[in-house]
Chains A and B, each alone.
Chain A
Amino acid sequence: MILSNILRNSKNIGPKVNGCRLQSTLIIAEHDNEKLATVTRNALTAAKKLGGEVSVLVAGTKIGSVVEEVTKVSGVAKVLKMEGDEFKGFLPEVLAPLVLATQKRISATHVLAGSSAQSKSLLPRVAALLDVSPVTDVIDIKSPDTFVRTIYAGNAILTLKSLDAVKVLTVRSTSFEAAADGGSGTIEDAVPAGGYEKGTGSEWISQELSKTDRPDLASAKIVVSGGRGVKSEENFKMIYDLADKMGAGVGASRAAVDAGFVPNDMQIGQTGKIVAPELYLAIGISGAIQHLAGMKDSKTIAAINKDPDAPIFQVADYGLVADLFKAVPEMIEKIK
């Protein structure tokens, strides 16, 4: 009786003890050489669910302010820094060897980043160099080796147990709160100078970023989105006006991007951005599977569409069957 209790208890406490003693997480910070990206704060919250010590790697051409910012984020034990001109453009060929060397130095059991275009380029490259199978867009962490993610455009939820020694994960930012300030991490060099082999083969040339004063899509409380039904780039002005009245970020369906109404970085869906705002207002969007994948975790969904059979109405909390060219101007006028 006693023995079986001990066995049962040891089974329960075993992984926890191991978790605290042996677990060590390396988070790859995303930043623009000035400010830390919010997705990294989301990843820090995910890391807390893993237990163990959390170190954050900050690499870039000019990282002083980011390093300082990261030391203050709650949950950060160590900031591992590496500054150099070679990190211009944050190329994965250059960053991956550094991440690998840093992981080895601190014997990290988990390498994590917030899901973004940058981390989706980098982390699989790191994982292959470690000969492990990475896990993309994790929405929940059940234990240090068991993760939850969506497959088939969010239409099925897979819980998987990773059998690899090192777990390499990107985490979906809408599934984890952003970690706030309140920490006091220490700063050290990621690896000694000349302590790793530098990668090459690619060169960063230029960027064309879409300029906007509107809230960032990923963190906006309200998102107003337009689709094919908006019909033209000029008509999209109406969507921007409504969004501005509501203090909202502006998104779009693939149809609206493909038709050239808006730039690609506004696309919401399986292959674009994933958002989960308090309110998602879909205007002239039919609600294809691929679009729903990017917004169906929104708290409230409202839709305006003239087709009463549009699939969007099956997920909308409030649906208005109306011509958007009448309804949207009316909304703009009536919202104080």
Chain B
Amino acid sequence: MARVLVGVKRVIDYAVKIRVKPDKSGVVTDGVKHGLNPFDEIAIEEAVRMKEKKIASEVIAVSCGLQQAQESLRTALAMGVDRGIHVEVPQAQYDTLQPLHVSKILAKVAQDEKVDVIIVGKQAIDDDSNQTAQMTAALLQWPQATFASEVKVEGNEVVVKREIDGGLETIKVKLPAVISADLRLNEPRYATLPNIMKAKKKPIKKITPSDLGVDVSPRMQIVNVEDPPTRQAGSVVPDVDSLLAKLKEKGHI
């Protein structure tokens, strides 16, 4: 049976309207509602389903970040993950922590824990990078199945349906492999109260990047973070005729 590793990121809740800091160094995160990255919930759900189908023997969740990352790990544990690993990164390094660093951490943990499958979300909704799965696969020299909307494990291979620009594509990858979850892979479950209570007893191991021998020194410098240009307020038109007239005036129809 396969051992599965899932990547978990704590991000600002998807429904929050973010604010840029006045000094343009980043966005305001203090006192802002955070949650599990929605794509990671899907990754966790898929891993837990593998366990329920007896394809996976153990599911381990890893999160890299501040102390608060443990909240996200607890959510993963409440969804059915067996144990957590928190790779603690202090604020000073967290601000410039990149998918490359996270990938190196995931790759090292995957080797140490002897996992066969890594599942992560296709992108984090804060930095919108869409890189971690691909980079982790590269570092391990494993095949990758990105933007998965259907995953079928068949012995030592995984058949994955992928969401691509023109439609869907099916590929087959040999295990061990890295999979990134797209939105339509599954519908994540809600953690029930008894499971949330049980999750409190599940173990979370705390380590640092240096324990793993991973260098997290910055690969980029933030020049600034700004608000996007705002659109001029528009007008409400009374009926279809006026809408069509306006569009005609602008030369659209």
Which secondary structure dominates where chain B touches chain A?
mixed
With CB as the reference atom, state the residue of chain A lying closest to B24. Answer: A159
Residues from chain B with a CB closer than 8 A to the CB of A278 are: 252
Question: Contact mask B230-253 → A, CB, 8 Å, 1/0?
Answer: 011111110111011011001011
Residues from chain A with a CB closer than 8 A to the CB of B165 are: 116-118, 265, 273
CB <8 Å contact, A204 and B234? no
Residues from chain A with a CB closer than 8 A to the CB of B127 are: 151
CB <8 Å contact, A222 and B252? yes
Asked if A81 CB lies within 8 Å of chain B CBs, one says no
CB <8 Å contact, A128 and B135? yes
In the complex the two chains form, what is the Cα distance from A146 to B223 in whole Å? 8
CB <8 Å contact, B99 and A124? yes
With CB as the reference atom, state the residue of chain B lying closest to A290. Answer: B14
Question: Contact mask A259-280 → B, CB, 8 Å, 1/0?
Answer: 0000111000011010000110
Can you show 28 pairs from A to B with CB atoms below 8 A apart? A89-B169, A89-B171, A117-B147, A117-B163, A121-B147, A129-B138, A132-B219, A146-B223, A151-B27, A162-B220, A163-B220, A164-B220, A203-B171, A205-B170, A208-B168, A257-B184, A265-B168, A271-B123, A279-B252, A300-B250, A317-B235, A318-B234, A318-B237, A318-B247, A319-B236, A320-B237, A320-B240, A334-B244
Residues from chain B with a CB closer than 8 A to the CB of A159 are: 222-226
CB <8 Å contact, B239 and A161? no
Distance to closest chain B CB from A154 (angstroms): 6
The stretch of A12-20, A42-50, A70-78, A91-99 that contacts the partner chain: A91-99
Asked if B128 CB lies within 8 Å of chain A CBs, one says yes
Q: If A117-B165, A156-B27, A331-B240 touch, does A205 touch B172 (CB 8 Å cutoff)?
A: yes
Residues from chain A with a CB closer than 8 A to the CB of B220 are: 133, 135, 160-164
With CB as the reference atom, state the residue of chain A lying closest to B244. Answer: A334
Residues from chain B with a CB closer than 8 A to the CB of A163 are: 218-221
In the complex the two chains form, what is the Cα distance from A146 to B220 in whole Å? 9
Asked if A330 CB lies within 8 Å of chain B CBs, one says yes
Partner-A contacts on B (CB < 8 A)? 12, 14-15, 17-18, 20, 27, 39, 98-100, 103, 122-123, 125-132, 134-139, 141-147, 149, 159, 162-174, 177, 182-184, 218-228, 231-237, 239-241, 243-244, 246-247, 250, 252-253
CB <8 Å contact, A201 and B174? yes
In the complex the two chains form, what is the Cα distance from A129 to B173 in whole Å? 19
Residues from chain A with a CB closer than 8 A to the CB of B231 are: 296, 301, 315, 317
CB <8 Å contact, B174 and A302? no
Residues 112 to 167 of chain A near chain B (Cβ within 8 Å):
116-118, 120-129, 131-137, 146, 150-164
Closest 5 CB pairs of A and B: A201-B143, A128-B138, A124-B134, A133-B219, A128-B135
Asked if A236 CB lies within 8 Å of chain B CBs, one says no
In the complex the two chains form, what is the Cα distance from A127 to B247 in whole Å? 45
Residues from chain B with a CB closer than 8 A to the CB of A302 are: 243, 246-247
Asked if A335 CB lies within 8 Å of chain B CBs, one says yes
Distance to closest chain A CB from B77 (angstroms): 26
In the complex the two chains form, what is the Cα distance from A304 to B218 in whole Å? 46
Residues 300 to 321 of chain A near chain B (Cβ within 8 Å):
300-302, 304, 308, 313-321
